[in-house]
Amino acid sequence: MITSESKYILTLGLAAFVGSLVMTVIVKRWAIKHDFVDRPGHRKIHTHPIALGGGIVIFWITMLPIIFAATAAYIWSQNTPPDFIPHTLAIHIPGLSSRARLALILLAAATLLHVMGLIDDRKHLGPAPKLLVQFLAAFLLVVVGKVRFGFFIPNPWVTSILSILWMVVIINAFNFLDNMDGLSAGIGLICAGMILSAAWSSGQVFVSSLLVLLMGALAGFLVFNFAPAKIFMGDAGSLLVGLLLSVATIQTTYYHQDPNLSGAWFNTLMPLIVLAVPLYDFTSVTIIRMLQGKSPFVGDKQHFSHRLVRRGMTHRQAVLTIYLATACTGLGATFLNELSPLGVLLVFIQTLLILFIIAILEKQ
């Protein structure tokens, strides 16, 4: 049986998808007209200029509805909700209105990264200013917005530092993934779906809405971004995707957790398992570059996807392989809340074994 909440989520996702399709076409034409394009280079795989601006689509499709909904929910919480709001959704209005402050802080952090990304897409900023803005955005969310992990570590300073570092790592992981047509957007779509299964099953309307909007935005954009890409998201999009997913992983919890089941381990391991493949790419590339005496933030062709291509895959095959690897590792995280601590540990070990198999197969 499809509930009113399910219809709401499906409608929201479909609207985001259609809006993303339409807006991507508009932004693509605007980008070409104003020479906002990514030109071929020594570490680029495309041979002609490709429109940038996909990040603009992702930003507005995800942020505008969240702000509108939070504002409306706050107003309706002070008055009787309109008749067109189903009762099954109206009962969530107080909870959503309580997230209005978080929505504003999320908007501020997302805007910081998005604007910096747009500037970088145009002028190619160095790693220092980009990292500074990333830490500032994470600081806003963690310290001001109180978005931090609910670890079994009681010290709020420790959990705050770990949460900030987690956000910055995931932001850069998706920025690193944006190296091949459809890769960062597709992986973001898969990871968002995995996290959504946990957030929705625990009744977290705000987080679920954010993830559905992100999935719709990425799916619509991916129609034009999958190889051969007609538009790129650029840093303005990849940084934003990483930020939203990092926030979603921190905010996703199980309110009705059986104390005999995974408990706090769920909050610790679920993000690591869902984002195992992006973290594998980020970690492996960082280690390779550092061993070569290079900055981890200087782009090259040593990413997971590039290594698969050197093994004989086409670009499409490499991207689809990484999609499948992400789905394989992420699926285990969707039922962690139903497992005992031993079961959770076994899923985590399974994820590590999958990554070891990937490392062996793609090793040159």
Give the tokens for residue 338.
């139903």
Of 89-93, 97-101, 141-145, 287-291, the least confident: 89-93
Q: CA–CA separation, 36 vs 2, rounded Å?
A: 44
Choose between 95 and 364: higher pLDDT.
Answer: 95
49 pLDDT band (50/70/90 cuts)? Answer: confident
Burial letters 273-295, b for 16+ CB under 10 A, else e: bbbbbbbbbbebbbeebeeeeee
CA separation for the pair 281, 285 (Å, rounded): 6
Q: pLDDT band for position 174 (50/70/90)?
A: very high
Looking at per-residue confidence, does 91 or 132 come out higher? Answer: 132
Q: Which residue in this structure is represented by tokens 């990484």? A: 322
The band of 164, judged by pLDDT with boundaries at 50, 70 and 90, is very high
d(CA 148, CA 273): 18
Residue 161: band (very low, low, confident or very high) from pLDDT cuts 50, 70, 90: very high
CA–CA separation, 90 vs 77, rounded Å?
A: 9
Residue 257: the pLDDT is 45
d(CA 221, CA 59): 12
Provide the residue type at 98 as one letter.
S
Query: Any idea of the CA torsion for 217, 219, 224, 228, to the nearest 10 degrees?
Result: 140
Residue 364: per-residue pLDDT: 55
Percent of the chain topping pLDDT 70: 84
* pLDDT mean over 105-131: 93
pLDDT band at 248 (very low <50, low <70, confident <90, very high): very high
% of the chain beyond a pLDDT of 90:
46
Greatest mean pLDDT among 94-98, 103-107, 124-128, 295-299 lies in: 103-107
CB 210 within 8 A of CB 163: no
- Residue 353 C-beta-side C-alpha neighbours within 13 Å: 7
DSSP state of 81: P
When pLDDT is averaged across residues 44-70 and rounded to a whole number, the result is: 86
**SS3 for 51?**
strand
Flag whether pLDDT at 352 surpasses 50: yes
* pLDDT of 215: 97
pLDDT of residue 255: 41
Give yes or no for residue 123 having a pLDDT over 90.
Answer: no
- Burial class of residue 98 (count of CB atoms within 10 Å of its CB; 0-12, 13-18, 19+): middle
CB 116 within 8 A of CB 129: yes
pLDDT reported for residue 72: 74
Average pLDDT over residues 263-291: 82
CA neighbor of 32 nearest in space, from 49, 48, 51: 51
User: What's the helix, strand, coil split of the chain in %, to 5?
Assistant: 75, 0, 25
Top-confidence residue, 51 or 8: 51
Residue 50: pLDDT over 70: yes
**Considering only CA atoms, which of 186, 181, 180 is closest in space to residue 327?**
186
Q: 50 — phi, psi (to 5°)?
A: -120, 140
pLDDT score of 40: 75
Tell me the pLDDT of the chain averaged across its residues: 85
Around Cβ 356, how many Cβ atoms within 10 Å?
Answer: 11
**pLDDT, average across residues 23-33:** 96
| HSE toward the beta carbon, residue 252, CA cutoff 13 A | 35
The predicted pLDDT at position 185 comes to: 96
Q: What is the pTM of this model?
A: 0.90
259 pLDDT higher than 50? no
The pLDDT tens digits of the residues spanning 63-82 come to: 999 888 777 766 766 666 66
Predicted pLDDT of residue 294: 81
Higher per-residue pLDDT: 179 or 133 = 133
pLDDT-based confidence at 194, cuts 50/70/90?
very high
